[in-house]
Structure formats: structure tokens, C-alpha cells
Amino acid sequence: MRTKILGTGSYLPEKVLTNFDLEKMVDTTDEWITKRSGIKERHIASEKEATSDLGIIAAERAIKNSGIDKNDIDMIIFGTITPDRLFPSTAIYVQKALGLVGIPAFDVSAACPGYIYAMTIADSMIKSGQAKCVLILGGETLSKIVNWEDRGSCVLFGDGVGASIMAKSNDESGIISLTIGGDGNMEKLLIQPAGGSRMPATKETLENNLHTIQMEGNEVYKNAVNALTNSANKAIEMAGVSIDDIKYFIPHQANIRIMKTTAKYIKIPVEKVYMNIDRVANTSAGSIPIAMDEMNRNGLLNKDDLILVASFGAGFVWGAGVIRW
Ligand code: UT7
């Protein structure tokens, strides 16, 4: 038995911040950002918008796209590292907004692969009979935790949430393989140091910008390519398919150079790699479900197409899978 994606949805906040806008904020240029990352613009949440607000719209769109009755949903899992609050969970706000009181709703903290982690849990829940129809979400309002004075990181991130409805498949379509993993030895390379129980918020942590993203870009880059390559290869092997059978590779949209190098290493033509980083930037857990929804709405995903997804992020953690559409 397989589980499948019945429908997709996504939401990007209205405000667009271009590289030219960033030139006025930090010592950077459109040319540097475009050349080093492939990003031209990103969407930024308003002061009033939290991650759940984006998620609720994405979820409503996924429900509509799937054609289900929203009351069929019996579990909600939200992959995010920018929750509305440390507690309660962001998923519980989505549950409340959708009027689905009573069903389990929880967050998964797995940085950029958060959506793949959520999908892995949903897949297991459906296969074990604990759930029948799961709403999974992945996405962020990273703009709220970016240090807007750090040109090495602030140019890379954007806001947005993607959502999918998952249920039992009644044919061969659905998830063929999923693999997730992590290596805690590299936790310091990409981290939001303060605000948790290790370093609670104080005047000093605020003054020293310790509630914002701290990143060693070069080190993250090298490990990203390795993690994406290894996890993608593993997902292909577990699925028992050939890389030539894959119609589209949807990698985490972190950097165009990371995506192209990974494509070279796993031996997939770059034309098969779906990229929207120029418009969306790095939305962490939103990357893959937002891209998938764009492809779905643009009619790129047809029945029986094999899709490879792969992601990596802070932790480090990674995840990959092969899906038959
Ligand atoms: O979801 C995972 C999240 N993170 C990532 O995926 C990040 C992975 N890393 C990367 O994407 C890249 O390492 C970056 C895009 C962050 C940086 O690209 P790079 O080619 O590794 O550049 P670099 O860090 O080696 O910096 C090269 C130069 C430095 O100047 P000097 O020391 O050579 O004079 C930087 O200070 O570029 C400078 N620089 C900038 N210049 C203009 C760094 N950021 C900027 C900037 N604008 N925004």
C-alpha cells in the first residue's frame, strides 16, 4: 500500500523585496546575489503575518485542489522553524482556523527538510492506520529571524508556506521511497542561538543579535551538496528506479549553484531540475511544497511521473524521496 499526495497549495506573502531593495539596506549588489545564489527577489511577510497565517491560506488552497471535504482531515503536521510561538504549536492555529477541533495537530522542527519529515510521519501514520487523511505543511517567515545587517545571510531567505493533502493511494501512484537523517556534530554551522532554554531571551542576547540566523555559509554549502547527493542517491536506490526514470528533481531551493552541482553529481540533466529560487529564495521547509504546488498548478505534473525530492538544513538534517505522481 502507498500513500499519495491528493492536492497541493501554497501561499507567498504579497510584499516582494528585490535585490535592488537590498542594495539600499546592506553593502551588496544585485549582481553579487544573482551570481552567487541565483536569487533575484523574495516575498516578505507583513508585521501582522505569522507563519500560521501563511499556512492557513496554503492549507485552504490544498484542500480545494485535492477536492476533499476539509472534515476528512484527521491530522495536521507542520514542518517549521519559525513557529508563531515556541508554544503552542503552529499546527494548532491551522487546526483552529480550519474548524477541525479535536484532531491531532503538531509541529516538526527539522529545518529545511521539515516538509519531508512531515511527509515521512504522515506516510507512517496512514500506513499504520492511525490517520486516513493528513494535512502536511512546510514553510516559514524567516524574515522575522534574519539579521538584516548581515549581508552574508539576509539576502538568501524568503517567506512562504506550502501544503499538501495526503491519503491512501488506490493504485501505484504515491510515495515509493523516503529517507531522513541527521548529524548533530554540525549544529553550530547554521543556528538561531538564543530564545530557547539554552540561552533564554535577555537584554544582552537581544543586543548581540543572538535571536537571528547565524550561518557559516561556505561550510553549509559544502555539506549541503554532500547531503543532497547522498540522500537523493539513497532515495533512488530504495525506490528501485534509475535516475533516468526521474521526470523532475525538486531540490531544496537554497542556492542555484548547490542545485546544479548536486544535479551533476547525481547525474540528472539540469533541465529536469525545477528551480524557482530566483523568485522565491530560500523558504526553508517551504521550498519543496511551494515548488511542487507551482508545478502542479502549471500542469507540469502528470500521472505516473516520477519525482525526486531532496532537502538539507540546520542540524544538519536531510531527507529525500521518490514519488510517483
Ligand atoms: O537552507 C540552508 C541555508 N543556507 C545555505 O544554503 C547557504 C549555503 N551557502 C551559500 O549559499 C554560499 O556560501 C553563500 C551564498 C552564502 C556565499 O557565497 P560564497 O561564494 O560562499 O561567498 P563567500 O562566503 O566565500 O564570500 C565571498 C565574498 C566575501 O568577501 P571577501 O572576504 O572575499 O572580500 C564576502 O564578504 O563575498 C562577500 N559577501 C558579499 N558581497 C556582497 C558575502 N555576502 C555578500 C553579499 N554581497 N550579500
Per-residue pLDDT of 2-18, as tens digits, reads 999 999 999 999 999 99
Pocket test for ligand 1, best of 20, 36, 282 (most atoms within 8 A of CB): 36
Which residues, 6 or more positions from 50, have their beta carbon under 8 angstroms from its beta carbon? 84, 90, 93, 141
Tell me the CA–centroid distance for residue 295 and ligand 1, in Å: 29
Residue of the nearest CA to atom 30 in ligand 1? Answer: 152
Residue-wise pLDDT for 276-310, tens only, equals 999 999 999 999 999 999 999 999 999 999 999 99
How far apart CA 148 and CA 48 sit, in angstroms, is 18
pLDDT tens sequence across 134-153: 999 999 999 999 999 999 99
User: Residue 227 and residue 259: Cα distance in Å, rounded?
Assistant: 12
Query: Are residues 258 and 235 in contact, defined by beta-carbon separation less than 8 angstroms?
Result: no
Position in ligand 1 atom list of the atom nearest CA 37: 15
pLDDT, average across residues 233-247:
98
> Is the shortest distance between the CB of 313 and ligand 1 below 6 Å?
yes
pLDDT in tens, 90-102: 999 999 999 999 9
Phi, psi (rounded to 5 degrees) for 4: -135, 165
Global pTM reads: 0.97
Cell of 40: 533575484
How confident is the model at residue 311, as a pLDDT?
98
Report the C-alpha gap between 148 and 11 in whole angstroms: 23
Closest CA to 154 of 42, 15, 16: 42
Q: Where in the chain is the domain with CATH 3.40.47.10?
A: 3-170, 175-324
Q: What are phi and psi of 14, to 5 degrees?
A: -65, -40
Q: Mean pLDDT in the chain?
A: 98
Question: Looking at the DSSP assignment, which residues form a beta bridge with residue 178?
Answer: 321
Q: What is the pLDDT of residue 267?
A: 98
Q: What is the mean pLDDT of residues 227-234?
A: 98
With beta carbons less than 8 A apart as the criterion, state whether 51 and 141 touch: yes
- For residues 250 and 271, give the distance between their C-alpha atoms in angstroms, rounded to a whole number: 11
Residue with cell string 491560506: 57
Architecture of domain 3-170: 3-Layer(aba) Sandwich (3.40)
Instruction: Give residue 290's identity as a one-letter amino acid code.
Output: I
Q: Does ligand 1 lie within 6 Å of residue 254's CB atom?
A: yes
The arrangement of secondary structure in 175-324, i.e. its CATH architecture, is 3-Layer(aba) Sandwich (3.40)
Q: How confident is the model at residue 320 (pLDDT cuts 50, 70, 90)?
A: very high
